[in-house]
Chains A and B, each alone.
Chain A
Amino acid sequence: MTRYIVRRVIIAVPTLIAISMVVFTILALAPGDPLSEFANNPAVPPQVRQNIRKNLGLDDPIPVRYAKWFRQVVQGDFGYSFRSRSPVLDLIKMRLPTTLYVIGTAYLISILIAIPIGVLSAVKQYSVFDNVATTIAFIGFSLPTFFTGLLLIIVFSVKLGWLPSIYRSTINTPGLLGVWERVEQAIMPIAVLALFQSASLMRYVRASMLETIHLDYVRTARAKGLPGRAVITRHAMRNALIPVVTIIALGVPAVFTGAVVTEQIFRVPGIGSLLITAIYDSDTPVVMAITFIFAVLIVVFNLIADVIYGVLDPRIKYS
């Protein structure tokens, strides 16, 4: 097991290097100039501009720049933002808690919704409950998140006036009211993400449960007289949820990137909105860092999914 994990990590390293090369090359080949704002600013003499370019190493050939970037990243340093002149890592650390709070809550809620509904739906296949649940799930995952977000704003902010449509990170209201304000503004972003995630997750739970329910060992459990509830929860569910757990792990990076849109709708000051502003500002170090972090998430959660699968299902042999 340990050997398998070690080997997988070793395989993951070249993948990550390749991804960082791809992203770096795209950025380097791009025709835009990260210092174009200086170029348009007459107050900056050409000589100074040259010096800045030299200091940032922008005149070196691409492989040299990549090697420099790589050496820094290995040491945990993502460089400085062109725009705010502060270390990229600090910027990300500042934004991360908000993103984690919104995404984490949403994902947790969607798991808590999807599993019971998916299981019930499969157990009572073709019942009214199943039909309603699958239809809602189908609609939920066909609804683009940007549209759900705007719909919620129209209903709960514009028409009813119950919830704020813009997320503020600067809430100073003391006491319980301040806590409520923090919770209140997160309700809609969380709801948007949770609806989409639970809809797609529920379809997996239902499909996996349907497959398991018709297996012989479940029939045996029924035949030996176990009550229906015990058959479902203790026999069928335990096996049916194994692939679901891996799907949950594999879904984490997608939730992160999906949050880019949600953060934009509600102006949540998280990683996603940092990425968007960085792209608009041609802030290469920030873009590079966030894209790379997303890639790391994908690779790491793939690995986690594989390991969990092996732990939960002893029939899987690591070779």
Chain B
Amino acid sequence: MSEVTESRVQSASRADTLAEVGALTAKKPRSLWSNAWRQYRRHKLALAGTFVLLFFIVATIVGPFLWDQSATSIDVAAALQGPSRKHPMGTDILGHDVFARILWGGRVSISVGVVAMLVSIFLGTLIGAISGYFGRFIDSSLMRLTDLFLALPTLPLLLLVIYLFRDPMQKTFGVLIGMFILIVGVIGVLSWMPVARLVRAEFLSLKEKEFIEAARCMGAGTASIIFRHILPNALSPVIVAATLGVGSAIITESTLSFLGLGFPPDTPTWGRLLYEGQEYIEIAPYLVLFPGAVIFLSVLSINYIGDGLRDAIDPQRTL
């Protein structure tokens, strides 16, 4: 007990000297995150991407309340009209206002991207951490599993699983929720492998470091070492991978919808709008252009954000 207080006193006095040094150089000590932010700010395109993406997110959350046109009301008399003041992105074959549908669809598309990424990051971090920390038999069998998943043909399996299980899922959880769980789950389960490899590699090198030895000597338990000491230090590449993961999950969901295997027709996700629009591509190309442009712009922004984050917090990596 007394030893602990002593070490506290020591570290406090060290902090004092540090503060003195800081006062001498007359500069505020920079934290890890403020450093990262300074670096990130220099990447102009990443900043632009952040603004575009934030704009999209806010628009899809707030937009449906502000925009007075309904996404679902049918008005056949106003079908297939080009962009106008009343319908800035035109109307589709049933007279739906495309702008309203893009706002609604964005909620689904963006949340699919984010949640699918969370699933894949969770699985990848868990498997990578266990594999890297415990090593030996656990490591080799988990890495075999990772190799196996890497050899699975992703797109055919996605299509297959969704086609086969969409009806029972929709019956059990309702149309929208069931499809959401299915799509998010399948994308997550088929995309955790690179994250697991990254986290494992970080764990392998970090667990041999002195500060982990120190933590262990102070009596930290396994869980505490994994989650409080190693994981925070292994996070940089994971954050970058997570950002890029949102973009690729949005593309995957759109691809599924585009092949007719995504959300049901009354849920206007961006990919779904594109799928419906391609039939009228000759008379109403704007039905393809607007949803396609939103998908492209959000993915491009996310990729630039990922690029900027990599420069800021994970500078060893070049690609």
Question: Could you tell me if B282 and A158 are in contact, using CB atoms closer than 8 angstroms?
Answer: yes
A19→B160 contact, CB < 8 A: no
A178 beta carbon closer than 8 Å to chain B: no
| Selected contact of B251 from candidates A26, A144, A204, A276, CB within 8 Å | A144
A142 contacts chain B at the CB level, 8 A cutoff: yes
Q: Are A279 and B160 in contact, CB atoms less than 8 angstroms apart?
A: yes
Given the complex of chains A and B, what is the CA–CA distance between A279 and B235 in angstroms?
Answer: 39
Interface flag for B67 (CB, 8 Å): no
User: Contacting A298 at CB < 8 Å: which of B153, B159, B160?
Assistant: B153
- Count of interface residues, chain A, beta-carbon cutoff 8 Å: 49
| B288 closest partner in A (C-beta) | A150
B88 part of interface (Cβ distance < 8 Å): no
Knowing A31-B164, A31-B165, A276-B159, say if A154 contacts B153 (CB, 8 Å).
Answer: no
From the candidates A151, A211, A258, A264, name the one contacting B292 in the complex (CB within 8 A): A151
Are A139 and B292 touching (Cβ within 8 A)? Answer: no
A295 & B152 in contact (Cβ 8 Å cutoff): yes
Given A257-B155, A291-B156: A154 and B281 interface contact (C-beta under 8 Å): yes
Q: Closest residue to B164 on the A side, CB-wise?
A: A30
Residue interface mask A239-282, B partner, CB < 8 A = 1: 00000000000000100011011001100000000011001100
* A261 to B159 alpha-carbon distance, docked (Å): 11
- Chain A binder among B14-22, B92-100, B218-226, B296-304: B296-304
Chain B residues closer than 8 Å to A32, beta-carbon distance: 164, 167
A129 near B: Cβ within 8 Å? no
Q: Is the CB of B254 within 8 A of A158?
A: no
Nearest chain B CB to A267's CB is how many angstroms away? 11
Contacts of A290 in B (CB 8 A): 156
Residue of A15, A142, A165, A280 near B247 (CB, 8 A) is A142
Expressed in whole angstroms, the Cα–Cα distance for A15 and B153 within the complex equals 13
Q: Do A211 and B295 contact each other (CB < 8 Å), given the known contacts A26-B160, A31-B168, A275-B156?
A: no
CB 8 Å contact bits of A35-51 with B (1 = contact, 0 = none): 00000000000000000
Tell me if A204 and B167 are in contact (CB < 8 A).
no
CA distance A265 to B164 in the complex (A): 23
Across the interface, do B295 and A147 meet the contact criterion of CB distance under 8 Å?
yes
Chain B binding surface SS class: helix
Tell me the smallest distance from the CB of A137 to a CB of chain B, in Å.
11
A73 at the B interface (CB under 8 A): no
Residues of B within 8 A of A291 (CB): 153, 156-157, 160
Q: Flag whether B34 is at the interface (Cβ < 8 A).
A: no
Interface residues of A in 9-39 (CB under 8 A from B): 15-16, 18-19, 22-23, 26-27, 30-32
Cα–Cα distance between A142 and B299 once the two chains are bound (Å) = 6
Does A302 sit within 8 A of B, measured CB to CB?
Answer: yes
Give the residue of A26, A147, A294 whose beta carbon is less than 8 angstroms from that of B153: A294
Nearest-Cβ distance from residue B251 to partner chain A, whole angstroms: 5
**B319 contact set on A, CB distance < 8 A:** 203-204, 207
CA A158 to CA B285, docked complex, whole Å: 9
Q: Decide yes or no whether A143 CB sits under 8 A from chain B.
A: yes
Q: Complex Cα distance A19/B144, Å?
A: 12
**Whole-angstrom CA separation of A288 from B300 in the bound complex:** 35
The answer to whether B258 and A294 touch across the interface, beta carbons within 8 angstroms, is no
**A69: interface (CB < 8 Å):** no
Asked if A217 is at the interface (CB within 8 A of a chain B CB), the reply is: no
With A147-B295, A204-B319, A276-B259 as known contacts, state yes or no: A158 contacts B164, CB within 8 Å. Answer: no
CA distance A72 to B282 in the complex (A): 47
The answer to whether A299 and B296 touch across the interface, beta carbons within 8 angstroms, is: no
CB-CB < 8 A to B299: which residues of A?
A: 142, 144
Cα separation A16 to B261 with both chains bound (whole Å) = 27
Partner of A19 from the list B148, B251, B259, B303 (CB cut-off 8 Å) is: B148
Contacts of B159 in A (CB 8 A): 260, 275-276, 279
The answer to the question of A287 belonging to the interface, with a C-beta cut-off of 8 Å to chain B, is yes
A15→B148 CA distance, assembly (Å): 6
Least distance between B71 CB and chain A CB atoms (Å): 21
Q: Would you give the shortest CB distance from B112 to chain A, in whole angstroms?
A: 14
* Residues of chain B lying within 8 A (CB to CB) of residue A151: 288-289, 292
B313: Cβ under 8 A from any A Cβ: no
How far apart sit A257 and B274, CA to CA, in the bound complex (Å)? 21
Do B160 and A27 touch across chains, with their CB atoms under 8 A apart?
Answer: yes
Q: How far is the CA of A295 from the CA of B303 in the complex (A)?
A: 28
Closest to A288 in B: B160
Q: Which residue of B lies closest to A204 (CB)?
A: B319
Given contacts A280-B163, A295-B153, 11 further A-B contacts (CB under 8 A): A27-B164, A32-B167, A139-B300, A143-B296, A146-B255, A150-B288, A154-B288, A210-B318, A257-B154, A295-B152, A299-B151
| A interface residues, Cβ below 8 angstroms from B | 15-16, 18-19, 22-23, 26-27, 30-32, 138-139, 141-144, 146-147, 150-151, 153-154, 158, 165, 203-204, 207, 210-211, 253, 257-258, 260-261, 264-265, 275-276, 279-280, 287, 290-291, 294-295, 298-299, 302
**A-B complex: 7 closest residue pairs judged by Cβ atoms:** A294-B153, A30-B164, A147-B292, A142-B300, A207-B319, A257-B155, A154-B285
Q: List 25 A-B contacts (CB under 8 A).
A: A30-B164, A138-B300, A142-B247, A142-B300, A144-B251, A144-B255, A146-B254, A146-B258, A150-B281, A150-B288, A153-B281, A154-B285, A204-B319, A207-B318, A258-B155, A264-B259, A275-B156, A276-B159, A279-B163, A279-B261, A280-B163, A291-B156, A298-B152, A298-B153, A299-B151
